[in-house]
Amino acid sequence: GRHSMLPRHVQRLGRDWITHWNGSQILALNSPVSSCMRWAGHYPPWASFPLPISADFSANWRVPPFFGPWRQFQNSNWHLDNYTQSCCFHLPNSSMKSEGEEPLTKKRRLSAQDDTSTPEQQTDLSNQKEVSCLSVAQNEEKHGSKKGTIKRHWEYFCQQSKTMKIAKNKGSDQSSTGSEATFDFTVMSYNILSQNLLEDNSHLYKHCRQRLLFWTYRFPNILQEIKELDADVLCLQEVQEDHYRTEIKSSLESLGYHCEYKMRTGRKPDGCAICFKTSKFSLISSNPVEFFRRDIPLLDRDNVGLVLLLQPRFHCKANAAICIANTHLLYNPRRGDIKLTQLAMLLAEIASVASQKDGSFCPVIICGDFNSVPGSPLYRFIKEGKLNYEGLAIGKVSGQEQFPRGQRILSIPIWPKKLGISQNCVYEIKQQQKEENTGEKLEAAKPDNAQEIVVASEKLSSKLRHHFKLSSVYSHYFPETGIPEVTTCHSRSAVTVDYIFYSAANDGIADQPGAEDSFCGGLKLLGRLALLTEKDLWTVNGLPNENNSSDHLPLVAEFRLIER
């Protein structure tokens, strides 16, 4: 075999090293690995196990996989759950890097690989482990003494917001706080990690203990997070359809949420959900967005978006509305052309849904996993409202890879005309109607062929625009140290890819042309749930871990609706 020089019982251990606390073999916690690690059996003197550093032991550390496949250990007589945390040591990869190491594609794992057991045995073993995981999760929740928790704090930008937060925790009603009529609400964006995608990409979670990756362990943790954060609007990504139908929807409805869901259009059974508290909002319209187009070769991916128009229930005008959008853009770092087109399709739908009778837009919030890093061209386009992509390499659009392979340049235009979306990221029919309405007023001042010239120049333009003045809830770097904030952390990467963008109220920016007329009011950011650094997350063995059961962190922000 591959490790025939090793004793049989050592080969059977797989990737996790388990050592007993015997009276004669008590480990000194601060001793180097080479001098204190002992096996519960004999190994020959030539069998060395080099590690790059001397490290303190913790219950969540794991050694790099020197030995045989996990399946051999899984089907042996050893059971992780039979050992206490004090006698299992899991060491993470000490050479972890933060960027540029994501795999090119997330390929489906072959289920038959390294599999020596029958399907019936696998099913029985899986069921036993899932029941065990469920009991562990329930027991930990009952006693409320989970170890290795990192506390995230609220950052407030308004003292009144902090006061109202305390009042809310004491059970007061917003409608009776203060004499001024205001509408405050909280929004969460959270990629909850589809179980199907977790299992298909197990190489991203080699640092995790196996029992923490079962859905029966993860879902109670995720639901508990949602309960504790108590956001008024939830924008969830990677929501697996069968879990949504059987557990997630009913659980959230019992917490007072109304749920809207859009599943991906391909074979992957996950999608996006927007859930809102019926005590705070009523639904005006729900608008799913499918990015797959059979007649356009560029749009051959099954990502989706969801756009809701909500009406606040308190302290607002009869026609007040807020547009909430949620999406999960394509992952592939080298297909920036698809990412930009998907984003343009989402923005066009938002422009259609958020449009008011007077031509302005209601306040907009866009949440999601954009698979793009801060400062990338795609990120700048969202925030600045414009992007000149002439000469831009497709692999540099999202900034996911520091040194992208290939230098294929974005075509001009990126998407074909038959998509029906202009370079201003609106549906062309809507744009033509708007041009016709404004054209009547300017008809005397323009030559007859002016409109044809504008249309012809737009076709050749390499400049994208959108009509929303968007800000990011998070600043992406800690101001004191300049260290990056992190929204996702697993075995290959620790970066920011999740965002909450919002149309900010026009505070002191009336000098921007048309700014005061483009939106019907806006949103004021009152506070946010602080993010963490990569170093912070690895103190609890990255993500997922015992308390945080997704490979993403939830983003939460508090807003105040400012009406014009």
Tokens in use for 362?
């209601």
In 37-193, the DSSP E strands lie at: 154-156, 184-191
CA angle 375, 325, 100 (to 5 degrees): 30
* Domains of the chain by start residue, with CATH: 180-427+462-507+518-563 (3.60.10.10)
Give the separation between CA 368 and CA 555, rounded to whole angstroms: 10
Residue 452 has pLDDT above 90, yes or no: no
Residue among 400, 370, 402 at smallest CA distance from 383:
370
Q: Report the pLDDT value the prediction gives residue 114, as an integer from 0 to 100.
A: 43
Task: Return the minimum-mean-pLDDT range out of 165-169, 202-206, 250-254, 346-350.
Answer: 165-169
Tokens in use for 473?
């809830």
| Neighbouring residues of 424: CB distance < 8 A, sequence distance ≥ 6 | 431, 464, 465, 466, 467
CA angle 468, 470, 471 (to 5 degrees): 170
What confidence category does residue 315 fall into, taking pLDDT thresholds of 50, 70 and 90?
A: confident
% of the chain surpassing 90 pLDDT:
57
What confidence category does residue 59 fall into, taking pLDDT thresholds of 50, 70 and 90?
A: very low
More confident residue, 403 or 154: 154
Peptide bond preceding 44 in cis form (omega within 30 of 0)? no
Q: Work out whether strand 184-191 and strand 555-562 pair parallel, antiparallel, or are unpaired.
A: antiparallel
Residue among 301, 265, 257 at smallest CA distance from 281:
257
Contacts 24+ apart (CB under 8 A), 214-217: 214/129, 214/130, 214/133, 215/130, 215/243, 216/130, 216/131, 216/133, 216/134, 216/137, 217/130, 217/133, 217/134, 217/136, 217/137, 217/549
Task: Return the minimum-mean-pLDDT range out of 221-225, 353-357, 462-466, 507-511.
Answer: 507-511
| Neighbouring residues of 482: CB distance < 8 A, sequence distance ≥ 6 | none
Q: Are 288 and 271 in contact (CB under 8 A)?
A: no
Around 501, how many Cα atoms within 13 Å sit in the side-chain half-sphere? 24
Q: Report the pLDDT value the prediction gives residue 239, as an integer from 0 to 100.
A: 98
List, in sequence order, every residue forming a beta bridge with 187; answer none if it has no partner: 233, 557
Q: Report the pLDDT value the prediction gives residue 337, as an integer from 0 to 100.
A: 98
* Residue whose tokens read 């550093």: 53
Residues 221-247 pLDDT 10s: 999 999 999 999 999 999 999 999 999
Residue 438 has pLDDT above 70, yes or no: no
Q: Report the pLDDT value the prediction gives residue 22, as an integer from 0 to 100.
A: 42
Residues 115-136 pLDDT 10s: 444 444 444 444 444 444 444 4
CA torsion, ordered 253, 187, 514, 340, to nearest 10 deg: -90
Residue 431 has pLDDT above 70, yes or no: no
Task: Return the minimum-mean-pLDDT range out of 61-75, 258-272, 309-323, 525-539.
Answer: 61-75
% of the chain surpassing 70 pLDDT:
62
Q: Report the pLDDT value the prediction gives residue 136, as an integer from 0 to 100.
A: 44
CA 153 vs. chain centroid, Å, equals: 19
Give the separation between CA 536 and CA 458, rounded to whole angstroms: 47
Residues 146-194 pLDDT 10s: 567 889 999 999 776 665 565 555 554 554 444 456 899 999 999 999 9
- For the residues 68-94, what does the mean pLDDT come to? 40
What confidence category does residue 545 fall into, taking pLDDT thresholds of 50, 70 and 90?
A: very high
Phi, psi for 557 (deg, rounded to 5):
-140, 150
Q: Report the pLDDT value the prediction gives residue 521, as an integer from 0 to 100.
A: 77
- In our burial notation (b when 16+ CB lie closer than 10 A, e otherwise), range 271-280 reads bbbbbbbeeb
Task: Return the minimum-mean-pLDDT range out of 67-71, 155-159, 223-227, 347-351.
Answer: 67-71
Q: Report the pLDDT value the prediction gives residue 61, as an integer from 0 to 100.
A: 47
Residue 388: which H helix or E strand, with range?
Answer: strand 386-388
What confidence category does residue 429 fall into, taking pLDDT thresholds of 50, 70 and 90?
A: confident
What confidence category does residue 434 fall into, taking pLDDT thresholds of 50, 70 and 90?
A: low
Residue 561: which H helix or E strand, with range?
Answer: strand 555-562
- Three-class DSSP labels, 467-533: CCCEEECCCCECCCCCCECECEECCCCEECCEEEEEEECCCCCCCCCCHHHHECCEEEEEEEECCEC
| Neighbouring residues of 324: CB distance < 8 A, sequence distance ≥ 6 | 187, 233, 235, 274, 276, 307, 308, 309, 310, 365, 367
Q: Report the pLDDT value the prediction gives residue 404, as an integer from 0 to 100.
A: 83
Give the separation between CA 34 and CA 52, rounded to whole angstroms: 10
Give the separation between CA 55 and CA 385, rounded to whole angstroms: 48
pTM: 0.72
- Collapsed DSSP state (helix, strand, coil) of residue 297: coil
Residue 385 has pLDDT above 50, yes or no: yes
- For the residues 20-25, what does the mean pLDDT come to? 41
